[in-house]
Chain A
Amino acid sequence: MNVVAATPLLIMSGASVLALVLGVLPLGPRSRWAPALVAAAGCLATFVMAVVLWGERQVAFDGNVRADRFSMLLVMIVLTATLGVLALAQREPSAVDRRAEWTGLLMLSATGMVLVATSGDLITLFLGIELLSVSLYVLCAVEVWRERSLEAGLKYLIIGGIGSAVFVYGLAFLYGVTGSTRLSDIGATLSGASLTGEPLLLVALVLITAGLAFKASAVPFHMWTPDVYEGAPSPVTAFMATGTKTAAFAGFMLMFTGAMTGVESDWRTLVAAVAAVTILVGNIAALLQTNVKRLLAYSAIAQAGYLLIGIAVGSIQGAEAVLYYLCAYTAMTLAAFAIVIIREREVENGDTLAALTGYGRVRPWAGVVMTIAVLSLAGFPPLSGFVGKFLLFGAAVEDGMTWLAIVGAVGSAISLAYYLRIAVVMWSPVPDSEPAGRKLLRMPLAGAGVAVASTVAVVGLAIFASPLIRMCRAAAESLLAP
């Protein structure tokens, strides 16, 4: 049996369990960094494996798990996000308090994401999504002494449960229509026989779209997102914004661009409609927010809308654009959250716009990081957010969905209002309430490192876009490999 293709998954599972176990062992205070180190080592090892496995498709466990360019690229994105969040969490109160559980759960969730990316079967896909979600339910509520954290966790759990039920019900119908749970078989069946317009298939499509759109926080399945993002500990929020989004779009691409491409005519209008509504609602609702985490939640919703454009067009080019945008999006989101997290530890209510007022004048580099991050999120040329949107909208126009590109452009124009507000606030004069010459905490090195590295990536992925786009193209093409 060939298990090479499953090594990323196995390493991640092992590292998760080891990190959890380390918390139980009586190792003394000197080992407090052990779980994080194990987790980081696991991520790095997996990353290396992902690089090694980058190539033609290999399968393990009878095709349940596959490793090809597509899955390995997604694994790399997920691991980058995980490493970033691990670094950002180093001084998080809840993470300090329960180091092992925190790290273990984070790693388990990341394992779920890896499983989604490498899955070759509906069962493993579902299992991956559930693994990542269930771990996140706990992580959201990990600050059990804080009512809002608990509320976020419980809300996420209940609504997430409904979302999962809808999703798995859809998968059941897809199985009913095609008679197989294997993605490649489903693809062959749907491309071969003329099943377009089959009622059971339509039910399956609606439910699967809803289930995945829920995980990707697309409208109208998004309503949990702002509450959960605001209530959860900020590093967890950052992880949801990057990792979960990546996994959800991995699912979208595997299911829609990959397996169900044969019945594209049935689902493209639906996905396009969801994309358009998501862009508009996300951007408009973000306008009135004062809490930066909540604002970024709405921004994350809007960004899901842009990404859905790439799914709706259903082409290789669309998937390529989605993959590039996921890379860029992960970098810019990590950068923005890094600043919020750093600020949260310095003042009460550090996640509000008021707390960021004048922060750029106090810590200029933080101001630069935040400004670049929001400009890129807004799609300002020539940052990577712009390149990504360019690819996405370009794919839409190419595919005869010009209207969707226009909706995207209008949404981006609206989004400038709130993104620029963050940038303006950062550079406004320091408010009088701030005691002059107040001593700042020493900079958390790990957090600052994530912020700066992500910013470099935001700029670098734009300046040297060509190699990454080629990688994304190769990855997208492997999606349709038999």
Chain B
Amino acid sequence: MATTLGWIILALPLLGCLALALFPRHGEPPKGPVIAIGVGSILIAFVLSAVVFASMLAEDPSERLHVDSLYEWIDIGGVSVDLAIRIDTLSMMMMLIITGVGFLIHLYSVEYMDHDRDYRRFFAEMNFFVFSMLLLVMAENFVFLIVGWGFVGIASYLLIGYYYQQADAVRSAKKAFVMNVIGDVGMVLAAFLLVRELGTLDYSEVFARAGELGPESGTALAVCLLLFVGAAAKSGQMPLHSWLPDAMTGPTPVSALIHAATMVTAGVYLIVRCYTLFDLSSLAGDTVAVVGMVTLFLAATVALMQVDIKRVLAWSTVSQIGYMVMAAGLGLYASAMFHLMTHAFFKATLFLAAGAVIHALGGEQSLDRMGGLRRHLRVAYFAMGAGCLAIAGFPGFSGFFSKDEILAYSLAAGTLGTIGYVVGTVAALLTAIYMFRLLFRAFFGPDPDGGYAHAPHPSRWWMAVPLSILAVLAVVGGWIQVPFGWHLIDDWLAPALVGAPEISPSHTQEVVSLIIGSIVAVAGIAIAWYLFGADRERRLRLAGVAAGPRRVLEDGYELDEIYDEALIGTTRDLGDALTRDFEPKGAGGIISAPVAIVRGSARVLRAAESGLVRTYAFALIAGVGAAGIVIVLAVVR
């Protein structure tokens, strides 16, 4: 029964998307049916997921694995790939998060997108996203994982560029897409390696026979690193992170659902799903952990200086996923999933609260033009407060438990883990500071200079209800797993993580970490209050200090500029090559070697097509000569 319901859960958002897309063209349809289909499909999917969850609870833990194949999709020389789904405890957890948080955000969008002309397109694309994400987590083999992976990329591309009239949005969408494709290439190559080594792509077989790759072998390392390229691109890990802050050009519910709660955590899911492979290569695991550490720290420093409310949250997402990736790299798979869950709650809360602010202020996103909102927007204030306390790790709130778990367990995970603990703790302090900076600047103090153009209007219940539910989850969600108490997440995931290394901290480590964690959170909030809350004058004085380093941070270490030219530019410039070619050259920055090479060779190739018959004849004959040389060289060797 579980799998039958699974197919229905998977089909519902797809049907919703198709139904919305196939509405008669002319004239926008009435909003009622659009809401009913768009939100209803996700609601039913959530209810069914809950039913499956309940039925799995009733089962013996060792039997909580259901695989079902619809039909054989392709069969390549003995490697058969089925359209199959897998419902185990890991995918079940993801399904609940995706449909649950997804439903709340859909509901919220009903009001948020109220003024939008393209209401139907929005819900069609959102439904498509949920379908793709479900496909990604429910796939039973690497091929459909990659298919889902590609689909969420498309959905993300469409929704980042939702306001296609703005050049910004289109540019960000393109950037996100191109960076994700880099990841996709990595995934595909990993899949090929698996086919070559194991002759199968089904999870069950790959993981059962992963040992054949050989522990610490080069192949295992290559497979893991290629998979991690995909994970890093999707989850905004350095150096492939820079698309994520730019992705904030999409509507806020999109940022909440795709670029905070679900899609960007797909990389973490992937690593946890493939833990058997990552356990084979300690070097791969270490690489993952180090990348996570670097990302979580640098992104936290950048978040300190952002002025755009959504960009603060975006950088914070990069940083928080850094925690999960570090945990996964250290082998703390259940902890990573726990933080993934609480993060989905509190980050969605934060984004939706930010959305309520932006909505109330008619599109204003700059912290400089906010202040005193506490008096105007009660619901958003409480929700934002709850979210901030949670993410800062204030004792008792959800982030406290999950972040502490990652940090405490890191202490038990060797030298690298200890380094991770230190980095993570410092970054936790920064997290508390930057989040409460946001809260204090937006909600406390006087109204901004010149006041608000029109009085901020509080949200109606469409936005208020989902926001409140999420806020409650952000507060209490962590109690599901309590140190020295109960470990429901660990227990639930255990059947899906059989054979993963058992790492658990000693009592002393646990206690020390809890205490330090609490102190750090409170200290961070206090510092933020001192700097940004208590005295407005002090904040303004601060603004003049160390302008140079500040600018570097504001620009995300200017990595963006560097990549723009060096990495992303290569590919993106290819797309823009034409337009630029006809434009007078600006005093653009450093043009790096790869860009120059590709663009140069494109021009040379165009010049070579001279239109002269004799040139073509010459090329043909020269080609014959070259072929002769190649064949002689090949045979001689």
Say whether, besides A391-B76, A466-B75, A159 and B598 are in contact (CB < 8 Å): no
Say whether, besides A397-B192, A416-B178, A420-B177, A206 and B609 are in contact (CB < 8 Å): no
CA–CA, A394 and B201, complex, Å? 12
CA–CA, A410 and B77, complex, Å? 25
Nearest-Cβ distance from residue A128 to partner chain B, whole angstroms = 21
- Within 8 Å CB of B615, what residues of A? 223
Q: Can you sample 24 A-B contacts with CB below 8 Å?
A: A158-B613, A159-B613, A163-B620, A197-B635, A206-B628, A213-B623, A220-B622, A220-B623, A223-B616, A281-B605, A285-B605, A287-B575, A287-B598, A394-B77, A397-B193, A409-B185, A414-B571, A417-B574, A417-B575, A418-B575, A420-B177, A420-B575, A466-B72, A470-B75
Which positions in A face B, CB cutoff 8 Å? 155, 158-159, 162-163, 166, 196-197, 202-203, 205-207, 209-210, 213-214, 219-221, 223-224, 226-227, 266-267, 269-270, 273-274, 281, 284-285, 287-290, 317, 320, 364, 380-382, 387, 390-391, 393-395, 397-398, 402, 405-406, 409-410, 412-414, 416-418, 420-421, 424, 427-429, 463, 465-466, 469-470
- Ranked 8 nearest A-B pairs via Cβ: A269-B634, A220-B623, A417-B574, A285-B605, A417-B575, A223-B616, A397-B192, A381-B150
B189 and A394 contact, CB distance less than 8 A? no
CA–CA, A394 and B200, complex, Å? 12
Say whether, besides A223-B615, A290-B578, A205 and B631 are in contact (CB < 8 Å): yes
Nearest-Cβ distance from residue B522 to partner chain A, whole angstroms = 48
Say whether, besides A158-B617, A223-B620, A397-B195, A381 and B146 are in contact (CB < 8 Å): yes
B626 and A269 contact, CB distance less than 8 A? no
Majority secondary structure, B binding face: helix
Nearest-Cβ distance from residue B26 to partner chain A, whole angstroms = 11
Say whether, besides A285-B606, A288-B578, A393 and B75 are in contact (CB < 8 Å): no
B605 and A284 contact, CB distance less than 8 A? yes
CA–CA, A151 and B603, complex, Å? 24
CA–CA, A269 and B630, complex, Å? 8
- The answer to whether B74 has its CB under 8 Å from any CB of chain A is yes
CA–CA, A226 and B615, complex, Å? 14
A210 and B627 contact, CB distance less than 8 A? yes
A285 and B602 contact, CB distance less than 8 A? yes
CA–CA, A158 and B614, complex, Å? 10
Nearest-Cβ distance from residue B147 to partner chain A, whole angstroms = 4
A317 and B77 contact, CB distance less than 8 A? yes
B189 and A155 contact, CB distance less than 8 A? no
Say whether, besides A221-B623, A224-B616, A465-B74, A284 and B602 are in contact (CB < 8 Å): yes
- The answer to whether B632 has its CB under 8 Å from any CB of chain A is yes
CA–CA, A469 and B73, complex, Å? 10
Say whether, besides A224-B616, A267-B631, A466-B71, A398 and B571 are in contact (CB < 8 Å): no
Which positions in B face A, CB cutoff 8 Å? 25, 71-77, 79, 143-144, 146-147, 149-151, 154, 164-165, 170, 174, 177-178, 181-182, 185, 188-189, 192-193, 195-196, 571-572, 574-575, 577-578, 581, 598, 601-603, 605-606, 608-609, 611, 613, 615-617, 619-624, 626-628, 630-635
- Within 8 Å CB of A206, what residues of B? 624, 627-628, 631
A409 and B617 contact, CB distance less than 8 A? no
**Complex partner residue of A159 from B147, B154, B616, CB under 8 angstroms:** B616
CA–CA, A396 and B174, complex, Å? 30
Say whether, besides A209-B627, A397-B195, A287 and B602 are in contact (CB < 8 Å): yes
B578 and A223 contact, CB distance less than 8 A? no
A382 and B609 contact, CB distance less than 8 A? no
B575 and A421 contact, CB distance less than 8 A? yes
CA–CA, A424 and B72, complex, Å? 34
